[in-house]
Amino acid sequence: MQGHTLSRYAGLPVIIGAGLAGLMAALEMDGPCVLLAPSFTGEGTSSTLAQGGMAAAVGPGDSPANHAKDTLQAGAGLCDPAIVQRITEAGPSAVETLLRLGVPLARDENGQLALHLEAAHSHNRIVFAGGDRSGQVILQHILQQARRKANIHWLQATLEGFHAPDGVLQGIWSSVGFIPTRHCILASGGCGGLYQHTTSPLSNRGVTLALAAWAGATVRDMEFTQFHPTALVTPDQTNRLSLISEAVRGTGAVLRLDDGHRFTEELAPRDVVSRAIAAQLREGRTVFLDGRSLPDAPFSTRFPGITQACRKAGFDPDTQLLPVQPAMHYHMGGLKVDQTGRTTLKGLWACGEVACTGLHGANRLASNSLLEALVGGQWAGQDVNAHRDAAGPLNTTAPERPTFTTDWPFRAEMQQHLGILRTRTELENFLERALPQARQNLCALTASFIGWAALNRPEQRGAHWREDAPGLQSPRHLDLQMNDLPL
Ligand SMILES: Cc1cc2nc3c(=O)[nH]c(=O)nc-3n(C[C@H](O)[C@H](O)[C@H](O)COP(=O)(O)OP(=O)(O)OC[C@H]3O[C@@H](n4cnc5c(N)ncnc54)[C@H](O)[C@@H]3O)c2cc1C
């Protein structure tokens, strides 16, 4: 298929996605750039759904070294220590950036930043805003600031492909035309929408990651998918599930079985709590979160946004137990990038959830992703600024575009075979369905990467738990390109 060229944008850096990572990259650009996304309101972003807030070592007695230690511990041997150090050290200045951009971070009675505690953090270190509406408040303020910048061209569209003959980016196809460019920052979020039970926007289905892989980019550690332990169970399981933030357990809510008994350590790392819940659900039990007697203030005062979602689903968290189940929440794997956000495809940067920087390893520490999206967006923007003038002439003729499909009827299978507890047989069953479609269907390609990587990691590490392969092997990354799959 051949499209027309959007000549007015020819040669400009293009940023894909208007969540936190994309907006931070756009704010960083010191020359004209295109910001391309289907919406500029926060809709379709995970960023706007974030409840807990952003992790940064700014509290008394805390330090980036403590933050790094907790991050490495959660990452189960697969974090890149240099990146962990760099990002945790950038935490305090990321908080300053939010304040400079006008984000009203919550304060305590002494006027100091208020800090939540979340699972597996050794200190209270989560800055937040708007009670439990951190993401929404942060994104709206950053959108406002970005709108003041005259150098950003706002293009409402979707990405449909990368043109990268010989492994060098020459342009991108969008739903409204071809843009010749040598610099693209992909900030298009995760792939939770591939799963039946997810807290992410359903539109985040790994399509853009698959397009990058098609063009030749390497993906890393795709098998590491994080399931949040506590999504609210509602009768309609086809939509995105409402999340009940870790901060709720951090303030004292407990998990109970249908007979009232507690069965796990509520503030253990996410993967541990998710597996404990999944094992109970598999036995036919029901699991509840009990936030009826939080210290200091009732649930509805502490967590107004979550309360609203619970009440909409028919539960009053001040007086009732909340039925919960784990749901796909965050993708630790993604496009392999270096410390400036460069992918292995020349001219393509990636930041935020679509990227695999090495910060999270096998398991993300809660609230580290907003921090990674913020600083990763800034660093990618700075690197593009430093290199945007270096390139020579650009061919502006719109080339032929390969056509793909993006329908995805296998959300339930993904949940069943590629969920929290995995076995070789289940993974092979899943791949039998997904692989034959993966050349043509972009969702199937991303799902196949996850399945293939899970099959080729016979161990129990972080969020990846092979029931048929107990124990740990030596730590190693799994890098894949499209031609590594048996397509
Ligand atoms: C319910 C929920 C709560 C969370 N809470 C927290 C928290 O408290 N703290 C924390 O640190 N993390 C949290 N996370 C994770 C965190 O929100 C995300 O990892 C982070 O916001 C990702 O930011 P991003 O900019 O990479 O992607 P997103 O915010 O998801 O933005 C992706 C952008 O790309 C666009 N896009 C997608 N496909 C295309 C395409 N084909 N063409 C063009 N544009 C496209 C989307 O429309 C969107 O604009 C939470 C996640 C969820 C789902």
* Cα 296 to ligand 1 centre (Å): 32
Report residue 439's pLDDT band, with 50, 70 and 90 as the boundaries.
very high
Ligand 1 nearest-atom number relative to CA 201: 53
Residue 477 has pLDDT above 60, yes or no: yes
Residue 450 has pLDDT above 90, yes or no: yes
Ligand 1 nearest-atom number relative to CA 367: 11
pTM across the whole model: 0.96
Q: Is residue 454 part of a domain?
A: no
| Residues facing residue 36 across a β-bridge | 16, 155
Residue 335 has pLDDT above 80, yes or no: yes
* Cα 34 to ligand 1 centre (Å): 19
The string of pLDDT tens digits covering residues 376-400 is 999 999 999 999 876 677 888 989 9
What's at 91, amino acid-wise? Answer: G
Annotated catalytic residue, options 270, 275, 342, 461: 270
H/E stretch holding 329: strand 322-331
Question: Do residue 294 and residue 160 come from a single domain?
Answer: no
CB distance 44 to 213 below 8 Å: no
Residue 414 has pLDDT above 70, yes or no: yes
Most distant CA atoms of the chain, gap in Å: 70
Ligand 1 nearest-atom number relative to CA 20: 25
What are the backbone dihedrals phi and psi of residue 147, each rounded to the nearest 5 degrees, phi first? -65, -25
Choosing from 387, 404, 419, the residue where a domain stops is: 387
Residue 366 has pLDDT above 70, yes or no: yes
Q: Is residue 47 part of a domain?
A: yes
The string of pLDDT tens digits covering residues 283-310 is 999 999 999 999 989 999 999 989 999 9
One-character DSSP codes across 250-274:
HTT-EEEETTS---S-TTS-HHHHH
Q: Is residue 32 part of a domain?
A: yes
Q: Please report the pLDDT score of residue 390 as a whole number.
A: 65
* Cα 107 to ligand 1 centre (Å): 25
Indicate the DSSP class of residue 480.
E
What is the DSSP pairing of strand 33-37 with strand 152-156? parallel
Specify whether 424 is catalytic. no
Question: Do residue 13 and residue 85 come from a single domain?
Answer: yes
CB distance 402 to 161 below 8 Å: yes
Question: Do residue 334 and residue 318 come from a single domain?
Answer: no
- Select from 479, 451, 439, 458 the least CA-distant residue to 223: 451
List Cα–Cα distances, 475 to 79, 471, 480, in angstroms. 10, 12, 16
Question: Do residue 290 and residue 164 come from a single domain?
Answer: no
Q: Please report the pLDDT score of residue 245 as a whole number.
A: 86
- Which CATH number characterizes residue 106's domain? 3.50.50.60
Residue 309 in contact with ligand 1 by CB distance below 6 A:
no
Question: Do residue 286 and residue 371 come from a single domain?
Answer: no
* Cα 150 to ligand 1 centre (Å): 25
Mean pLDDT within 9-14: 96
Question: What total of structural domains would you count in the chain?
Answer: 2
* Cα 181 to ligand 1 centre (Å): 25
- Which CATH number characterizes residue 265's domain? 3.90.700.10
Exposure string of 426-454, with b = 16+ CB inside 10 Å and e = fewer, is bbeebbebbbebbeebbbbbbbbbbbbbb
Residue 162 in contact with ligand 1 by CB distance below 6 A:
no
Please compute Rg for the chain using Cα positions. Answer: 22
- Which of 95, 369, 408, when mutated, tests ligand 1's pocket best, judged by the most ligand atoms within 8 Å of its CB? 369
What's at 202, amino acid-wise? Answer: L
Residue 22 in contact with ligand 1 by CB distance below 6 A:
yes
Q: Is residue 1 part of a domain?
A: no
Based on DSSP, count helices (H) and strands (E) in the chain, helices before strands.
13, 20
Domain of 91?
A: 7-190+330-387
Q: Is residue 73 part of a domain?
A: yes
Question: Range with the lowest mean pLDDT among 45-49, 113-117, 265-269, 274-278?
Answer: 265-269
What's the CA gap between 460 and 383, in Å, rounded? Answer: 37
